Amino acid sequence: MNEQKTQDFAEQLGALAIEGVTDIVVDCGEITATVDPASLIAVATQLRDELSFEQLMDVCGVDYLQYGKDEWQTDSAAAGGFSRGVSGSSVGRLSFGDEVDPLADGEPRFAAVYHLLSIKHNRRLRLKVYATDNEFPVVPTVTDIWACADWPEREAFDLYGIHFEGHPDLRRLLTDYGFVGHPFRKDFPLVGHVEMRYDPQKRRVIYEAVSIEPRVLVPRVIRKTTRKNTTSAVVADDSSADTAKGDA
Amino acid sequence: MPEIRNYTLNFGPQHPAAHGVLRLILEMDGEVVDRADPHIGLLHRGTEKLVESKPYNQSIGYMDRLDYVSMMCNEHGYVMAIERLMGIEAPLRAQYIRVMFDEVTRILNHLMWIGAHGLDVGAMSMFLYAFREREDLMDCYEAVSGARLHATYYRPGGVARDLPDTMPQYEASRFRSKSQAAKQNEARQGSLLDFLEDFCNRFPGCVDEYETLLTDNRIWKQRLVGIGVVTPERAMQLGFSGPMLRGSGIEWDLRKKQPYEVYDQVKFDIPVGKEGDCYDRYLVRMEEMRQSNTIIKQCIEWLRVHSGPVLTEDHKVAPPRRAEMKGDMESLIHHFKLFTEGFCLPEGEAYAAVEHPKGEFGCYLVSDGANKPYRLKVRAPGFYHIASLNEMVQGHMLSDVVAVIGTQDIVFGEVDR
């Protein structure tokens, strides 16, 4: 989509001042609106009926538990040199029962992200809804507004344990029958908890504690890149709006 | 009179018409489907989670294995998300190569679909014809990347390497006589572009052949016309995209409406259906194959006369050439850093969507500034199509379930991820 059109639409959206929309950001030519979970239904209905976002393209869960955490200090060297990045708690290194540092108080952990598409106006919009409770994340369902939200919400429930209130049929979707836990959470080890095999004595498939060693070849590194893409905020003030795209 | 009751039928997961590993619980009223409950996830590999523990470039290969019949289009969505977040762009030649291979992939996918769909509905010979042409296109994949299916050819900032000047040749063996090998190698004497051009000249004739077999075939029409009708409003509600949406009469194609790469430089039409039934979707896909063919031809024409780099010169993203690396300290450092650590993306999030053969394939990438994605969500078109199966088959006969699965062009690699 055309950059100017996106910017115009973001401003139009900001001018509407829809109740429940707390923040509108334009980044990489895409608009992200943060929405209060309590007013999601009203906002979504208004977006569909008045701004003709007929299609919901995607619903996706995100777990912010380890956001911005790296395993390798890159900005300062200690007396022993730079850290080697072999210890860390990124999800690939976890094994069964490992603890992960909790988030700071008041920081939301789970978010549901909705990607909307308006075929009539040829526009896209991203809604982000942070669940208020980190222990039992609840977000209202949008299945009554877009019928296709049914399965992706089930998926987000399955993988992240986000409960979509009012969903007609909130069952697990992708994981095995009888699976325990929510595998895409950042405190769920990459190797999993159980493995299965056929037991010739019992003559059936059995589950056992996982025997794979967690192994990560490349540590997680965060570097401050000089590269900056076009970012501008409509509601919040941001000075980086003029930084042009590198070689666009 | 015996009492007639509803009963539940388990369909799959090991059934040839289930296109892989779909398990359906069907509530039947006689031979009519009351309710269908698809159980998916039997091929769930947790791609999105695996990606989180690897540097960006090491995950391109995972994308091939999502929808394993349209490999390069998946890669395209992924590298586009990275490029958008970084603010880099591929060189023009790479963009043309990408468009060309996206269309090769579209034909590959549609050939697979017509073969499997035909087989499901009872047209056995379609499968054989479709695979004859697929073979040539997979040879193109092989020539350019070394692999016939899982190419891992696209890179952030371009493609892995330029088009080759020679094609792989057939060798005479116990099973292939010398004269037969020579005949098969006839079109392979020149470069990849020569081979592909020869294919493009042949291919419309092949589509004509398929159409003679199917389009006016009485049985084919009996099985498809009026089956699985979806109204345009409902298609939007159900999150349809690609041929499924166009079959319902909505003119929507990302290649035209939100053009990426050089799709605004090539000429092609978007076929649109009228009724929204299986037959219309069949017609739409057949026409798409012809349109893809013309796009490939235009790309070949352009690529023949324009040379240039195919991978960005920005060595923070793409490695320097091997010869440079041997002689230049700076290049050696870039090379070392790229292959031990990868590159870091700026903090932010991006959603890049491509017009995949099956619909809108989107990659939602969340980065916290690290060398690995914080979260990658793949928006697979087939996921939304199979979700609507219940609605599409209600009131239809059991045999129509197979026709509907076929028309949805389901591949479990992308549905389960």
- Cα B257 to Cα A16, A118, B225, B271: the distances in Å are 26, 11, 29, 14
The pLDDT value recorded for residue A241 is 38
CB contact under 8 A, B44 and A246: no
DSSP per residue, B221-245: HHHHTTSS---HHHHHHTT--THHH
Cα(B255)–Cα(A150) distance, rounded to whole angstroms? Answer: 28
Q: What is the pLDDT of residue B62?
A: 92
Q: Residues 6 or more apart from B402 whose CB is under 8 A from it? A: B17, B120, B121
Closest CA to B159 of B147, B168, B151: B151
Strand-pairing partners, residue B304, are none
- A·B CB contacts under 8 A: 153
Say whether B371 and A218 touch across the interface (CB within 8 A): yes
- Residue A236 sits at the chain B interface (C-beta within 8 Å): no
Are residues B344 and A126, on separate chains, in Cβ contact within 8 Å?
no
The whole-number average pLDDT for the span A126-147 is: 90
CA nearest A62 in B: which residue? B375
Residues A85, A88: Cα–Cα separation, whole Å: 7
Taking the alpha carbons of B394, B398, B403, B406 in that order, is the dihedral positive or negative? positive
Which of B25, B42, B336, B383 would best serve as a mutation to test chain A binding (most A beta carbons within 10 A)? B383
Please provide the DSSP assignment of B297-345 as one string. Answer: HHHHHHHHH----SB-S-TTTSPPPHHHHHH-HHHHHHHHHHHHT--PP
Interface test with B, best of A227, A232, A240, A242 (most B CBs within 10 A): A227
Among residues 93-132 of chain B, which lie with CB inside 8 Å of chain A?
A: none
User: What's the topology of domain A3-65+108-186?
Assistant: Beta Polymerase; domain 2 (3.30.460)
pLDDT-derived band at A25 (thresholds 50, 70, 90) equals confident
Whether B369 and A218 lie within 8 Å, measured CB to CB: no
Q: Which residues of A touch B54 (CB under 8 A)?
A: 218
Residues A218, B372: C-beta atoms closer than 8 Å:
yes
Place of tokens 């069907």: B26
Q: Do A28 and B239 touch (CB under 8 A)?
A: no
Neighbour-count burial of A155, counting CB atoms closer than 10 A to its CB (0-12 exposed, 13-18 middle, 19+ buried): buried
**pTM score of the predicted model:** 0.88
Q: With cut-offs at 50, 70 and 90, classify the pLDDT of residue A153.
A: very high
Better pLDDT: A81 or B46? B46
* A216 interfaces chain B, CB cutoff of 8 Å: yes
According to the model, what pLDDT value does residue B291 have? 93
Q: Does the beta-carbon distance from A174 to B40 stay under 8 Å?
A: yes
Q: How far apart are CA B138 and CA B147, in angstroms?
A: 8
Residue from B396, B127, B89, B42 nearest B262 by CA:
B89
B377 contacts A222? CB cut-off 8 A: no
Residue among B252, B364, B368 minimizing CB distance to A113: B364
- In this prediction, the residues of chain B whose per-residue pLDDT falls under 70 are 1-4
Q: Which of A31-45, A95-109, A168-182, B334-348 has the weakest average pLDDT?
A: A95-109
pLDDT higher at B30 or A78 = B30
Is the CB of A62 inside 8 Å of chain B's CB atoms?
A: yes
The secondary element (H helix, E strand) that includes residue A236 is none
Kindly list the residues from chain A whose CB atom is less than 8 angstroms away from the CB atom of residue B417: 174
pLDDT score, position A6: 83
Beta carbons within 8 Å of A105's beta carbon, 6+ residues apart: none
A58: nearest CA in chain B?
Answer: B379
What ipTM goes with this model? 0.85
Q: CB B346 to CB A151 under 8 A?
A: no
* pLDDT, tens only, B170-197: 888 899 899 999 988 888 888 899 999 9
pLDDT tens digit sequence for A176-217: 888 888 999 888 888 888 888 999 999 999 988 888 888 888
Query: If you count DSSP H runs as helices and E runs as strands, how many of each does chain B have, helices first?
Result: 18, 8
> Which residues 228-287 of B are in CB contact (within 8 Å) with A?
236-239, 241, 250, 252, 257-258
| DSSP symbols for B230-285 | --HHHHHHTT--THHHHHTT----HHHHS--TTTTTS-------SS-SHHHHHHHH
Q: Which of A1, A184, A216 sits opposite B53 (nearest CB)?
A: A216
Q: Of residues A130 and A7, which shows the higher confidence score?
A: A130
DSSP 3-state assignment of A178?
Answer: coil
Of B316, B340, B362, the CB nearest to A115: B362
**What number is the average pLDDT over the span A14-28?**
81
Is B89 near chain A, with CB under 8 Å? yes
Q: Which residues of chain A from 81 to 120 reach within 8 Å of chain B, CB to CB?
A: 90-92, 113, 115, 119
* Dist CA B133 CA B155 (whole Å): 27
In order of B220, B317, B320, the CA distances from B327 in angstroms are: 64, 20, 11
Domain boundaries, chain A: 3-65+108-186
